[in-house]
Amino acid sequence: MSIDRRSLIKCGAAGAGVAIAASTLPALAARPRKEAPADAVGMLYDTTLCIGCKTCVVACREANGKPPDTSNSPGRLYDMPLDLNGTTKNVIKLYKDPDGAERSYMKAQCMHCIDPACVGACMLGALQKRELGIVTYKQEFCSGCRYCQMACPFNIPKFEWSSRAPLMDKCEMCVHRVVKGQQPGCTEVCPRKAIVFGKRADLLAEAKRRIAGSPKKYKGYRKGDAPRVYGETEGGGTQVLYVSHVPFEKLGLPDLGDKPVPEVAQTVQHGIYQGFVAPVALYAVLGAVIMRNKKAEGQKGKAS
Amino acid sequence: MSAVHEAEPVGGPIVTRGFRAVSLVLAIGVVFMIYRFMAGLGASTGLSDGYPWGIWIAFDVVTGTALACGGYAVAILVYILNKGQYHPLVRPAILTSALGYSLAGLAITIDVGRGWLLYRVPLYANHWNLNSALLEVALCVMSYIAVLWIELSPAFMEHFKKGPDGFLKSASNTLYPIVQNLLPWFIALGLLLPTMHQSSLGTVMLLTGAKLHPLWSTPLLPLLFLISCVGMGYAIVVFESTLASALLKRPKETEMLAGLGGVVGPVLYGYTAIRLVDLAVRGQLGAIFTSGKYSAFFLVEMALFLAPAVLLRDAKKRRDPGHLFRMAMVMILAGGLYRIDSYIVAFRPGDQYSYFPTVPEFMITFGLLALEIMLYVVIIKTFPILGGSGSKAPSAVAER
């Protein structure tokens, strides 16, 4: 009773063929690129202006009711977050070339992507682009699965690792202030206007104006690249924009190309599950084959 | 679809020396579970904002459910390819699938930050994010757990029908014919749901984009996860049947298992071929040798996938239970390593992060495995799951 290999290979080949077709077809019909909403707000950070005073870090805590992070401070005297974390939505880091004089501050917070991977990941839509294109978080829909962290190319969403009922935490561009006509905490206090708030379209124009004004001062992604605005197209575009006097890669910004991070995954997912046709069809076929086999078996049983 | 041999309970005492040893592992796991909920995930695990998923997801859930694909793989063979001779393998395979998936579900509730809110995932249908592959996995896995226990329920009802009068007996008598009539539709669901979520477990990692190494990140991730889980399904059936024969001194199912050994060859060749062709199409063949530790992991994976395919080509060797068992182990390792690599090793959040599982993570994983073994033993000894041997196993046998 050796197994009929030929029929099996046939069946396997057919199955694989269908599966390959299912996963390559959608590539032909890739999902449309998303545009920033017309009223999209954003922030523009200019490394040439930042002096690293961290006033924005303090203002962010006040605006969001977050306690200082003294866990890394000897004697717990200072607010010293080492990076974004469960209580820190905004942080100023320092980049310093180990072999040279090149240095720059770097402000890290949510980039508010136009097509965010975290929003694509979140099972119940706790993370969503809501008013003004701001990526906001509603805790009642979050079970703490942390898929948003896996998906985010900027490693922005942070988890309350020491809590027994942990939530996610990330910059929401102070949406609670913005809807009241105020500015985000960080942009309001910046003494050098290194971080400014406004409509994304206006900020993009301003960033390009600055680069055009001093093309030698600003840099591109790598050393030697033409100067550009990070976030104009990166990962499908972000609502927080950067211009910098050191290459963006030195600041830890990822090299994303202009393709939105969720594009491939969602093209595949939607290709397979378009209108839920494939699963229903597969179910009907499986059911029919099982019934047919069962009937054949029953007849065999009667005959003998 | 009449069974060739009627299934019957193995019988014998449940609490043996081996059972006590395994229950100790469970007890240790429970202590660490309590610790995990008291101290929080930060203190009890090696997880971080860079590596938010560790072995509880990559091993307990992603590898665990693939190993629980025995029910899926055997059902394809018996119900779709109509190989009735494998019917005795169905119930034991469905049982391990039901246990494997249920405990993967338990692992998820331990892993997520607020497991007590997971009930909202199936209930809040108006909030479902249909873009989320993880949502699809969650819903499919929840449904599949229910389907597996329904598929298995005739075994429990057959037991209760013979038992003392009472609610269980009358309920079993009423429900048995109903379930038997509906069974083909549940079997079809039991084939559809794993096809959906085992492939989606691959799609899940596609969303991590460039953070996943190019040797693993491909639009064909769902297909590769699906094919490899079928291979692992056959392997685990061989693994279990061989162990059950040896430990419970039951008759060997060599003929059937040799047949399974013949099935996996095409599956594994297909997997390897698709993976290499995909790398060629994406222009990443060079990365196989130039990616440092990633190259090493990739090559080990390939070797583990190809070795059983090659070494099981000889039909005579497939009838050697020891050889077959070793090859099943290699297949399990291959599929397991592919999943651990795809979820942890090839995931690159940045140089500032690192991950290695902590003692509580290991101990809770071992505890869940122990619980699975204990439930398996209790169920096969009490209910008609395994193919009948003609005579009850002598009770001394169970002392192992």
B208-217 residue pLDDT tens: 999 999 999 9
The residue range of the domain holding B73 is: 17-352+359-387
Task: Return d(Cα B38, Cα A162) in angstroms, integer.
Answer: 10
Taking only residues 228 to 247 of chain A, the set having a beta carbon closer than 8 angstroms to any beta carbon of chain B reads none
Task: Return d(Cα A283, Cα A286) in angstroms, integer.
Answer: 5
Give a yes or no: residue B92 inside a domain. Answer: yes
Q: What is the pLDDT of residues B338-377, one digit of tens each?
A: 999 999 999 999 999 999 999 999 999 999 999 999 999 9
Distance from CA of A150 to the nearest CA of B (A): 6
Residue B236: partners with Cβ closer than 8 Å, 6 or more residues away:
B67, B68, B69, B70, B96, B328, B332
Radius of gyration of chain B (CA): 21
CB contact under 8 A, A141 and B120: yes
Q: What is the pLDDT of residues B168-200, one digit of tens each?
A: 999 999 999 999 999 989 999 999 999 999 999
Distance from CA of A297 to the nearest CA of B (A): 6
Count how many pairs of residues, chain A against chain B, have C-beta atoms within 8 Å.
223
Q: How far is CA A283 from the centre of its chain?
A: 35
CB of A299 less than 8 A from some CB of B: no
Give a yes or no: residue B78 inside a domain. Answer: yes
State phi, psi for A40 to the nearest 5 degrees: -55, 130
Taking only residues 101 to 120 of chain B, the set having a beta carbon closer than 8 angstroms to any beta carbon of chain A reads 111-115, 117-118, 120
Q: What is the pLDDT of residues A79-100, one digit of tens each?
A: 999 999 999 999 999 999 988 8
Residues of B in contact with A268 (CB under 8 A): 203, 206, 219, 221-222
The residue of B4, B48, B49, B278 whose CB has the most chain A CBs within 10 angstroms, and thus the best one to mutate to test that interface, is B49
Half-sphere CA count of B107, side-chain side, radius 13 A:
32
Residues of A in contact with B37 (CB under 8 A): 164
Give a yes or no: residue B157 inside a domain. Answer: yes
Which residue in A has a C-alpha nearest to residue B209's C-alpha? A261
Give a yes or no: residue B4 inside a domain. Answer: no
pLDDT band, residue A3 (cuts 50/70/90): very low
CB of A269 less than 8 A from some CB of B: yes
Q: Which residues pair with A199 in a beta bridge?
A: A41
More confident position, B89 or B134 = B134
Task: Return d(Cα B262, Cα B245) in angstroms, integer.
Answer: 20
Per-residue pLDDT, B188: 93
Compute the mean pLDDT over every residue in chain B, rounded to the nearest whole number.
Answer: 91
Half-sphere CA count of B266, side-chain side, radius 13 A:
18
Q: What is the pLDDT of residues B390-399, one digit of tens each?
A: 444 333 333 3
Is the Cβ–Cβ distance between B128 and B135 less than 8 Å?
A: yes
Per-residue pLDDT, A2: 43
Q: Which of B42, B187, B196 sits opposite A279 (nearest CB)?
A: B196
When pLDDT is averaged across residues A296-301 and rounded to a whole number, the result is: 67
Is the Cβ–Cβ distance between B390 and B8 less than 8 Å?
A: no
Residue A145: partners with Cβ closer than 8 Å, 6 or more residues away:
A123, B111, B112, B113, B134
CB of A18 less than 8 A from some CB of B: no
Task: Return d(Cα B321, Cα A302) in angstroms, integer.
Answer: 36
pLDDT band, residue B263 (cuts 50/70/90): confident
The residue of A1, A118, A150 whose CB has the most chain B CBs within 10 angstroms, and thus the best one to mutate to test that interface, is A150
Which residue in B has a C-alpha nearest to residue A84's C-alpha? B49
When pLDDT is averaged across residues B282-305 and rounded to a whole number, the result is: 96
CB contact under 8 A, A155 and B350: yes
Give a yes or no: residue B2 inside a domain. Answer: no
Return the amino acid letter for A207: A
CB contact under 8 A, B209 and A256: yes
Q: Which of B2, B80, B82 sits opposite A301 (nearest CB)?
A: B2
Q: Which of A144, A264, A283 sits opposite B188 (nearest CB)?
A: A283
Task: For chain A, give the percent of residues with pLDDT over 90.
Answer: 75
Per-residue pLDDT, A141: 96
Per-residue pLDDT, B389: 55
Q: How far is CA A4 from the centre of its chain?
A: 49
Is the Cβ–Cβ distance between A152 and B210 less than 8 Å?
A: no
Whether the pLDDT of residue A292 is over 90: the answer is no
Per-residue pLDDT, B260: 86
Return the amino acid letter for B102: S
Whether the pLDDT of residue B400 is over 50: the answer is no
pLDDT band, residue A17 (cuts 50/70/90): low
When pLDDT is averaged across residues A15-39 and rounded to a whole number, the result is: 66
Which residue in A has a C-alpha nearest to residue B206's C-alpha? A265
Per-residue pLDDT, A272: 86
Structural domain total, chain B: 1
Residue whose C-alpha is closest to residue B159's, from B176, B145, B146: B176
Pairing relationship of beta strands A41-46 and A240-243 according to DSSP bridges: parallel
Task: For chain B, give the percent of residues with pLDDT over 70.
Answer: 96
Q: What is the pLDDT of residues B42-69, one digit of tens each?
A: 999 999 999 999 999 999 999 999 999 9
CB of A273 less than 8 A from some CB of B: yes
When pLDDT is averaged across residues A204-219 and rounded to a whole number, the result is: 97
Other C-beta atoms lying within 10 Å of the C-beta of residue B4: 12
CB of B3 less than 8 A from some CB of A: no
CB of B136 less than 8 A from some CB of A: yes
pLDDT band, residue B315 (cuts 50/70/90): confident
Task: For chain B, give the percent of residues with pLDDT over 90.
Answer: 76
Per-residue pLDDT, A293: 85
Could you give the angle at which helices B133-162 and A263-273 cross, rounded to 10 degrees?
50
CB of B219 less than 8 A from some CB of A: yes
Per-residue pLDDT, A300: 61
Can you count the helices (H) and strands (E) in chain B?
Answer: 16, 0
C-alpha distances in angstroms, B276 versus A254, B223, B282?
28, 13, 10
Per-residue pLDDT, A94: 95
Q: What is the pLDDT of residues A251-290, one digit of tens each?
A: 999 999 999 999 988 888 888 888 788 899 999 999 888 8
CB of A85 less than 8 A from some CB of B: yes
Residues of A in contact with B238 (CB under 8 A): none
Check which CATH number belongs to the domain holding B71 and give it: 1.20.1630.10
Per-residue pLDDT, B396: 35
CB contact under 8 A, B274 and A155: no
Residues of A in contact with B358 (CB under 8 A): none
Q: Which of A3, A11, A161 sits opposite B42 (nearest CB)?
A: A161
Residues of B in contact with A159 (CB under 8 A): 41, 49, 52, 113
Residues of A in contact with B131 (CB under 8 A): 119-120, 262, 266, 269-270
pLDDT band, residue B262 (cuts 50/70/90): confident
Residue whose C-alpha is closest to residue B353's, from B48, B34, B109: B48
What was the ipTM of the complex prediction? 0.91
Distance from CA of A16 to the nearest CA of B (A): 8
C-alpha distances in angstroms, B341 versus A229, B172, B216, B234, B294?
35, 45, 8, 21, 9
CB of A165 less than 8 A from some CB of B: yes
pLDDT band, residue B244 (cuts 50/70/90): confident
Q: What is the pLDDT of residues A96-130, one digit of tens each?
A: 998 888 999 999 999 999 999 999 999 999 999 99
CB contact under 8 A, A264 and B209: yes
Per-residue pLDDT, A291: 86
State pTM to two decimals.
0.91
Task: Return d(Cα B38, Cα A201) in angstroms, integer.
Answer: 48
Burial (Cβ within 10 Å: 0-12, 13-18, ≥19) of residue A182:
middle
pLDDT band, residue A26 (cuts 50/70/90): very low
CB contact under 8 A, B2 and A268: no
Give a yes or no: residue B39 inside a domain. Answer: yes
